């Protein structure tokens, strides 16, 4: 009996550690370690940080969100900033990616659950060449972040010393590519709203980090071999481009007499383009968001809810799911039973999974919003509390989309509201991904099938 007990426990533990659970536990572990690190007196200039705020900051960094209850550049010491930067990099690439590299360096075989978890992170199918995936992910990341840091370094060198410019360039290049939104500068990037080089660099890093590593790899391979792009890559590129253009036009039209008033046409276009790109996933800003109109804020809520693309550093319901939903509606309007995109027919399982992810995400944001409204509105007369609705909707959606933009409500959150935002950031980074993985499992074959009956749907 004594010999069988460890084996039984081990088999139970191995069975429990499904790929999605392994992925979740890996993120939770680094959030916990990041919380302990940020609690150290050496990480803050005040000599300490309370547990809840440390947990909030650690979750925001690992989940590459960017929401903060304190000013990162002012509150944290250089050591604390390095801890945050490390959490951003690990969270952006995925903890399981680093574990695969660790196993490879030790010369050991990679556990199957780790391989499948990496597949889940990057939306990649084959298991055989898993280290090859990790290798080119690291290669792309280091190359893109290095190039971005070089451009930022030369842009900031006239303003800062060589050491400061290099440090700021590295921090912001990593934060931008990982779509984290953390900034050491006061007011984010508002001081550089007219600097074309800084804006283009950030826009490029954010887009490259938000379209997904598989798309980057396929684009590189396509340029070298002139091979046709997959349906996934086409959908990601077209949807991303449409969202950027639509977001830019709407921001320009809605804010031309508000936050854009007094600027030249070129600067208006640059500012509008930057906000459209950063609103879906990154969280940097070159304008004060508490000055934006209600219409603009609501447009940004929609963009943040959509988020980035599968296999990227960002969150949200993903661009591909939005494209699938529009394609479903378009094909239904044309009387087609199947869903076609770019002369390809989507499997029914993919369509069902996409709808399920969208509905689950919508219900999650709605539930969290209602609870936060309850916790934030205590003691405030209802007529006065109604102005909080849009601000808190913006805050919750920003957390779910792992964006990090805020109208200033983050610092006013109650402890219970902070816990809800922490949960939302975590689910936003992993929820749709793990949900898709769980829904992809086939049900066991049934011996019978229920009688089919129709209902009216409008």
pLDDT in tens, 314-332: 889 999 999 999 999 998 8
> What residues have CB less than 8 Å from 239, skipping those under 6 apart?
309, 319, 320, 322, 323
Q: HSE-up of 54 (CA within 13 Å, CB side)? A: 20
Q: Is the pLDDT of residue 44 over 60?
A: yes
Q: Determine the Cα–Cα distance for residues 382 and 401; give it in Å rounded to an integer.
A: 28
In a domain, 446, yes or no: no
* Cα dihedral value 201, 203, 206, 207, nearest 10: -120
* Cα dihedral value 5, 11, 15, 21, nearest 10: 80
Please tell me the total count of domains within the chain: 1
In contact, 57 and 70? CB cutoff 8 Å: yes
What is the three-class DSSP state of 283?
Answer: coil
Burial of 57 (0-12, 13-18, 19+ CB in 10 A): buried
Q: Would you state the pLDDT for residue 219?
A: 87
Distance from chain centroid for Cα 28: 16
Q: Identify the CA nearest to 217 among candidates 139, 119, 318, 129.
A: 139
In a domain, 25, yes or no: yes
Range of the domain at 277: 14-439
- Report the phi/psi class of residue 422: left, alpha or beta, with left for phi > 0 and alpha for psi in -120 to 50: alpha
pTM assigned to the model: 0.88
Q: Would you state the pLDDT for residue 425?
A: 94
Q: Identify the CA nearest to 300 among candidates 272, 342, 327.
A: 272
Tell me the chain's radius of gyration from C-alpha atoms. Answer: 23
In a domain, 227, yes or no: yes
- Helix axes of 19-39 and 51-62: crossing angle, nearest 10 degrees: 130
Q: What is the token pair recorded at 422?
A: 């922490």
For the chain, the farthest-separated pair of C-alpha atoms sits apart, in whole angstroms, at: 81
In a domain, 416, yes or no: yes
Q: Would you state the pLDDT for residue 72?
A: 93
Q: Would you state the pLDDT for residue 27?
A: 86
CA dist 425 → 27, 57, 83, 200, 356 (Å)? 12, 11, 19, 27, 19
DSSP 345: E
Which residue did the predictor score with more confidence, 77 or 98? Answer: 77
In a domain, 219, yes or no: yes
Q: What is the token pair recorded at 208?
A: 């490259």
In a domain, 279, yes or no: yes
What is the three-class DSSP state of 451?
Answer: coil
Q: Which helix (H) or strand (E) holds 344?
A: strand 344-345
8-17, 34-43, 151-160, 376-385: segment of lowest average pLDDT: 8-17
Cα 55–59–60 angle (5° rounding)?
A: 115
In contact, 280 and 403? CB cutoff 8 Å: yes
Q: Identify the CA nearest to 30 among candidates 114, 113, 90, 102.
A: 90
In a domain, 212, yes or no: yes
pLDDT tens-digit map of 393-403: 999 999 999 99
In a domain, 233, yes or no: yes
Q: Determine the Cα–Cα distance for residues 403 and 81; give it in Å rounded to an integer.
A: 19
pLDDT band at residue 1 using 50, 70 and 90 as cut-offs: very low
- Report the phi/psi class of residue 31: left, alpha or beta, with left for phi > 0 and alpha for psi in -120 to 50: alpha
Q: Would you state the pLDDT for residue 290?
A: 86
């Amino acid at each position: 009996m004594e010999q069988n007990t460890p084996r039984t426990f081990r088999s139970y533990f191995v069975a429990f550690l499904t790929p999605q659970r392994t992925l979740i536990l890996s993120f939770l572990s680094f959030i916990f370690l990041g919380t302990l690190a940020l609690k150290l007196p050496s990480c803050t200039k005040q000599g300490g940080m309370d547990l809840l705020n440390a947990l909030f900051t650690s979750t925001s960094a690992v989940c590459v969100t960017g929401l903060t209850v304190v000013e990162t550049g002012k509150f944290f010491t250089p050591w604390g900033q390095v801890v945050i930067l490390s959490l951003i990099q690990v969270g952006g690439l995925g903890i399981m990616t680093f574990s695969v590299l660790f196993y490879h360096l030790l010369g050991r075989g990679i556990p199957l659950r780790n391989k499948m978890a990496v597949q889940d992170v990057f939306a990649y199918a084959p298991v055989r060449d898993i280290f090859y995936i990790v290798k080119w992910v690291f290669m792309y990341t280091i190359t893109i972040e290095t190039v971005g840091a070089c451009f930022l370094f030369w842009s900031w060198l006239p303003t800062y010393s060589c050491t400061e410019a290099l440090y700021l360039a590295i921090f912001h290049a990593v934060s931008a590519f990982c779509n984290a939104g953390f900034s050491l500068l006061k007011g984010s990037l508002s001081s550089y709203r007219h600097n074309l080089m800084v804006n283009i660099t950030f826009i490029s890093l954010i887009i490259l980090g938000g379209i997904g590593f598989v798309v980057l790899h396929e684009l590189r391979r396509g340029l070298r071999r002139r091979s046709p792009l997959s349906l996934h890559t086409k959908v990601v590129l077209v949807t991303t481009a449409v969202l950027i253009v639509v977001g830019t036009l709407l921001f320009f039209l809605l804010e031309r007499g508000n936050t854009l008033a007094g600027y030249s046409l070129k600067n208006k276009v640059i500012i509008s383009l930057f906000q459209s790109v950063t609103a879906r996933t990154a969280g940097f800003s070159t304008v004060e968001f508490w000055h934006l109109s209600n219409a603009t804020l609501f447009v940004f809520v929609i963009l943040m809810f959509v988020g980035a693309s599968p296999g990227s550093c960002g969150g949200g319901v993903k661009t591909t799911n939005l494209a699938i939903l529009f394609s479903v509606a378009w094909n239904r309007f044309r009387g087609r039973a199947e869903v076609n995109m770019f002369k390809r027919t989507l499997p029914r399982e993919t369509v069902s999974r996409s709808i399920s992810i969208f509905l689950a995400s919508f219900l999650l944001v709605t539930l969290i919003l209602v609870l936060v409204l309850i916790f934030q509105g205590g003691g405030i007369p209802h007529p006065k509390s109604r102005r909080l609705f849009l601000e808190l909707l913006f805050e919750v959606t920003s957390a779910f989309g792992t964006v990090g933009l805020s109208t200033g409500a983050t610092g006013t959150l109650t402890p219970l509201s902070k816990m809800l935002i922490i949960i939302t950031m975590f689910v936003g980074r992993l929820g749709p991904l793990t949900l898709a993985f769980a829904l992809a499992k086939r049900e066991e074959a049934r011996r019978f099938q229920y009688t089919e009956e129709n209902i009216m749907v409008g």
